Structure 1
Amino acid sequence: MIEYEELRADIDRYLMERFKYRKSLAFLTVDNVIATRRNSRVDLYLRIRRIESNFPPDCLIIARLGFSKERVGHGTHFLQFLTEATRKHGFSHIGIECANAKSSSFAKKLGFYSIDGENYAIATTNLISYFSME
């Protein structure tokens, strides 16, 4: 679990800077989940998976991601940050779990592939290419 504390700290710093929080938002659970404390602007739940499951190995899975203000670029900005963070911490994929209609179209726009119709994944190298072309 200690190996993921640095990733949690990076995500926490990002959220605090982006959303102007003074206190820590993100915490790490014993089963390798990074989540945010209750707040009004950000809802985040990330699963860390190093072994293959429905998702590829070395995958950081977005189980829940929501912002109080939608369609203003928070999701895209967070994915840009997460792409660099996953690369820094040795993850080769990012996944989206149980995507609804909005997150499915967001995933497709960014080049994620469908695993089974409701779960999506992408290699971080593909996201790096996507963001470098923007």
Structure 2
Amino acid sequence: MNTPMLEERDREAEQRENKEARARAEHFAELLAPYLAAQFGYKRNYVTLGLVTTVNARTVKYDLYLRVTPQRGQWAGTNCLVIARIGFTPTHKGHGRRFMAFLVEYAERVGYSNIGIESTNEESEAFGAKFGLLRHRDGNDLIGTVEEIKRRIAE
């Protein structure tokens, strides 16, 4: 049975966690915007913040939805940047590889040591396998360490 004092401490801890998570997401969005602008030739910033840990970026050339180190759900305790949606047009032109290189380059600055892909399909599973991502728990999610992904990119 929780006492009011314990419940208050839990709420404060959760608020602190959410504030830190939001700061990581904001920092990541600040890094992502110039990367996408340079890669795809846009002058306008198409990167937006979603709920607490999410970052969105969508144009006709790319569609990204990321969770920056979520503390709850299936990714809790993984210290992971999660790719919830990824798409580039045209495909098979190296955009995904360059994006993964960007993610490993900034991992330490944002504060994640793993990269995951959520709810994979055949294409995203093959994409993740190229970088050494493995099945995460019992679902159709993949996860890999930044170090392993960095090693695979260098090959």
TM over 0.5: yes
Matches within 5 A, 1:1-134: 1-37=22-58, 39-51=59-71, 53-55=73-75, 56-115=77-136, 116-132=138-154, 134=155
The answer to whether the 8 Å contact 2:49/2:56 transfers is yes
Deviation at 1:57, TM superposition (A): 2.1
Letter aligned with residue 130 of structure 2: K
Q: Report the more deviating stretch, 73-82 or 86-95.
A: 86-95
2: CA distance, partners of 1:8 / 1:27: 7
Percent identity over the alignment? Answer: 30
Deviation at 1:60, TM superposition (A): 0.6
Q: TM-score, normalised by structure 1?
A: 0.90
The structure with the largest helix share of the pair is: 2
Q: Residue deviations 1:62-91, cap 9 Å, x none?
A: 000101100111011100101112222110
Q: Residue deviations 1:3-25, cap 9 Å, x none?
A: 43221011111000000000001
DSSP-derived class of the 1:40 partner: coil
Gaps of 5+ in 2: 1-21
DSSP-derived class of the 2:91 partner: coil
Letter aligned with residue 65 of structure 2: Y
Deviation at 1:50, TM superposition (A): 4.3
Question: Aligned residues, how many?
Answer: 132
1: CA distance, partners of 2:55 / 2:66: 5
Deviation at 1:53, TM superposition (A): 4.0
The answer to whether the 8 Å contact 1:87/1:124 transfers is no
CA shift in 2, pair 1:77/1:20, >3 Å: same
Q: Residue deviations 1:27-86, cap 9 Å, x none?
A: 11232210014x211100001234364235211100001011001110111001011122
Gaps of 5+ in 1: none
- Higher radius of gyration, 1 or 2: 2
Runs of 4+ in structure 1 off by over 3 angstroms are: none
Q: Report the more deviating stretch, 106-115 or 48-57.
A: 48-57
The answer to whether the 8 Å contact 1:36/1:42 transfers is yes
